Structure 1
Amino acid sequence: MESPLIREAHLLEQGIQALNGLLGPEWQVTQRPNKSKAFDALLEVRAEGDSAFTQLLVEATSAVPPRFVMERLVPRVQLLREVNHYTNLLVIAPWVSSQARALLKLHNIAYLDLTGNVDIRVSRPAIIIRTVGAEKAPRSAPRETSRTTLAGAKAGRLVRLLADVPPPHRAIDLHRVSGLSLPYVSRLLDTLEDQLLIRRKGRIITDVDWAQLLRARAQETSLLSHGSYRGFLAPNGVPDLLQQIPRLSQVYGANGPVSEGVSVTGSYAAQRFVQVAVGGQLMLYVGPWLDVDDVADELGLLPVTDGADVLLLNEPDSSVRQRSEFVDGVQYVAPSQAALDCLAGPGRLPAEGEALLEFMEHWPDLWRASKNGGKARPVQH
């Protein structure tokens, strides 16, 4: 197993090679003796035949969680600029998340990751490099802080709880309400704190950046993952189908009737609150106690491989129905679940998810839990 120093040296070597490739043969990148123990390397960058050069102090790190940016890099770069205004900081990592990239750019810290996410801006000599790489962490990239990530059904359950219920929270309370193990909840909260998605004072969660939390969760999942759904055609159209859903026969299973096991998500759930576009595919979660073919038969749907206007999705976890609401006999997922599903979906869905998030930020009292248990209500435009 490689030691941290060997991994760091290998990462630095790969980063320098990538920088050389981006600059081209007319530029020279030279590693100079590094007198600063606060950084991993000192690079001198100059164009051939030009006396002007810039120095880049390099932080080579296996992971760049946002908390690391704000608590470690920003104070150091501020001190660096007080001493030497012309020396720049460059972060080299296997992968840098979109949230960390935004923070680095905000504080004028250059970054280069091995998937191709690069932002380097130097005034003299004039260097501007901006390329886009992977939006999701490659499997080979080290995980930030721990192996507990926002992927998986368990994480989705905790994300919904944190988004829907305003703080303060304690880990023990989240464990009791969610039914998740306390060690798992604690590990995931540590990850969320490193990503600046929650803030804590002692053991109390005092703030949740629920919009960024939903975006981060969406980046770790896919609404239409392989084998998670099947496509159908509604012979009389989606509007007619919506009228048919309340008439589903009340066939009771282990966990409830058919009508409680079918819930609308995606575009039609978002369109209760915002109107980005009209129509779209009708996406229905189907509870695990129901058979998809039986539901399709009850609704008169025809199976198709292309051109589906109805998708029946396997419900990944009961949390997708938390705080859902029946409207005219049709169950719709809560706004937070609809936003999450849209952000994790294909085509125009992410744009609808962002529009729904904007609505939710303006009207939090209409969808977040309150002491009197109020639920979201559509705003009449």
Structure 2
Amino acid sequence: MESPLIREAHLLEQGVHALSTMLGPEWQVTQRPNKSKVFDAALEVRAEGDSTFTQLLVEATQTVPPRFVMEQLVPKVQLLREVNSYTNLLVIAPWISPQARDLLRQNGIAYLDLTGNVDIRVARPAILIHTVGAEKAPRSAPRETSRTTLAGVKAGRLVRLLADVPPPHRATDLHRNSELSLPYVSRLLDTLEDQLLIRRKGRVIMAVDWAQLLRARAQETSLLAHGSYQGFLAPNGVPALLKQVAHLSVHYIDGLSVTGSYAAQRFVHIAVGGQLMFYVASWLDIDDVADELGLLPVTEGADVLLLTEPDPFVRSRSEFVDGVQYVAPSQAVLDCLAGPGRMPAEGEALLDFMEAHPEEWRDSRNSTGAPPVQP
């Protein structure tokens, strides 16, 4: 196993090579003696035949959590600018998340990751490079030390609780309400704090960036994962099918919940129609549901999708409208953002609505049991 110093040196070498390739043969990128122990390397960048050059001080790191950007990199660059306004900081990493990239740009810090996400802006000599690489972490990218991510069913429960219920929260209350183990909840909360998705005072969660939290969760999931759904045609059309669902027995009505585009269209209208998607609860068989509704199985051109419910928690805070069960807005957002085609745009539109009208969907009280906390 490579030592951290060897991994860092290899990362630096790859980053310098990528920068040289992007600039082309008319530019020189030279690694200079690093007199600072605060940064990992010093690069001199100049065009051939030009005496003007810029210096890039490099931070080579395996992971770039947003909290690391704000608590470590931003103070460094502020100090750097007080000493020399012409020297720039460049972060090199295997992969940098969209949120971390936004924070780096906002604070004027250049970055380069090995998937092609690059933003370098220098006034003299004039350098402007902005490219977009991977939006999701490659499997080969190093994970943060906790290794607890927003992927998986368990994370979905905690995300929904944090989004739907205003803070304050304690880990013990989230553990009790989600029925997840306390160690798991604690590890995931540490990850969310590193991502600046929650803010804590002591052990109490005081703020949740629920919109970014939902986006981050959606990036780790796929609504239509292989084998998770079956496609059908509704012979009489989707509107007639919704009316038909409302007249089923309670056994079926309670086990079918609309998600995706039709759940989002209860609140926003950026398009009409789309595929009607139902989560099917574990006590129902998809083939039985299809027979009960008279649906025709198809391999292409489906207007109805029956999805295997990954966890009963997706029905948390669902609502019945005209006899049909719809998932809560926060679940609809997650599913739209993680869906195909135009669904992510519908998810973003629903997020905009939710930000403007929190009273329409968020719990009006703190229901996780956390006591009031003095600011």
Report the TM range for the smaller structure's normalisation. Answer: over 0.9
What is the CA deviation profile of residues 303-337 of structure 1, one whole-angstrom value per residue up to 9, with x for unaligned ones? 00110000111111111100000001100000000
Report if aligned partners of 2:165, 2:365 keep a CA contact under 8 Å in 1.
no
In 1: Cα distance, 2:288 partner to 2:247 partner: 14
Please give the secondary structure, in 2, of the residue aligned with 1:243: helix
Please give the secondary structure, in 1, of the residue aligned with 2:129: strand
Question: In structure 2, which of residues 360, 364, 369 is the aligned counterpart of residue 370 of structure 1?
Answer: 364
Task: Report the counterpart of residue 298 of structure 1 in structure 2.
Answer: 292
What is the CA deviation profile of residues 278-301 of structure 1, one whole-angstrom value per residue up to 9, with x for unaligned ones? 111001100111100000111110
Task: Report the counterpart of residue 262 of structure 2 in structure 1.
Answer: 268
Structural mapping, 1:148-187, within 5 Å: 148-187=148-187
Task: Report the counterpart of residue 318 of structure 1 in structure 2.
Answer: 312
- Superposition deviation, residue 372 in structure 1: 9.5
Cα RMSD (Å) of the superposition? 0.9
In 1: Cα distance, 2:219 partner to 2:145 partner: 17
Matched, 1:200 2:210: no
Please give the secondary structure, in 2, of the residue aligned with 1:140: coil
Report the number of matched residues.
367
Matched, 1:279 2:267: no
- Superposition deviation, residue 247 in structure 1: 1.9
The residue type equivalent to 1:28 in the other structure is Q
Report if aligned partners of 1:232, 1:302 keep a CA contact under 8 Å in 2.
yes
Please give the secondary structure, in 2, of the residue aligned with 1:141: coil
In 2: Cα distance, 1:330 partner to 1:372 partner: 28
Higher relative contact order (CA 8 A, sep 6+): 2
Report if aligned partners of 1:145, 1:194 keep a CA contact under 8 Å in 2.
no
Question: In structure 2, which of residues 336, 345, 353 is the aligned counterpart of residue 342 of structure 1?
Answer: 336
Structural mapping, 1:86-235, within 5 Å: 86-235=86-235
- Superposition deviation, residue 370 in structure 1: 1.7
- Superposition deviation, residue 209 in structure 1: 0.3
In 2: Cα distance, 1:201 partner to 1:87 partner: 36
Please give the secondary structure, in 1, of the residue aligned with 2:217: helix
Task: Report the counterpart of residue 62 of structure 1 in structure 2.
Answer: 62
Task: Report the counterpart of residue 39 of structure 2 in structure 1.
Answer: 39
Structure 1 stretches of 4+ with a deviation exceeding 6 A read none
In 1: Cα distance, 2:56 partner to 2:179 partner: 49
Please give the secondary structure, in 1, of the residue aligned with 2:246: helix
Please give the secondary structure, in 1, of the residue aligned with 2:175: helix
Unaligned runs of 5+ residues in structure 2 are 368-375
Change (3 A) 1:229 1:90: same
Percent of aligned positions that are identical: 83
- Superposition deviation, residue 116 in structure 1: 0.5
The residue type equivalent to 2:350 in the other structure is L
The residue type equivalent to 1:278 in the other structure is V
In 2: Cα distance, 1:290 partner to 1:104 partner: 48
In 1: Cα distance, 2:227 partner to 2:25 partner: 48
- Superposition deviation, residue 259 in structure 1: 1.0
- Superposition deviation, residue 145 in structure 1: 3.5
Please give the secondary structure, in 2, of the residue aligned with 1:247: coil
Report if aligned partners of 1:58, 1:92 keep a CA contact under 8 Å in 2.
yes
Question: In structure 1, which of residues 243, 255, 258 is the aligned counterpart of residue 252 of structure 2?
Answer: 258
Report if aligned partners of 2:165, 2:366 keep a CA contact under 8 Å in 1.
no
- Superposition deviation, residue 144 in structure 1: 2.4
Please give the secondary structure, in 1, of the residue aligned with 2:263: helix
What is the CA deviation profile of residues 227-278 of structure 1, one whole-angstrom value per residue up to 9, with x for unaligned ones? 111110001100000001112234xxxxxx2211100000100000000101
In 2: Cα distance, 1:56 partner to 1:148 partner: 33
In 1: Cα distance, 2:123 partner to 2:225 partner: 45
Report if aligned partners of 1:145, 1:191 keep a CA contact under 8 Å in 2.
no
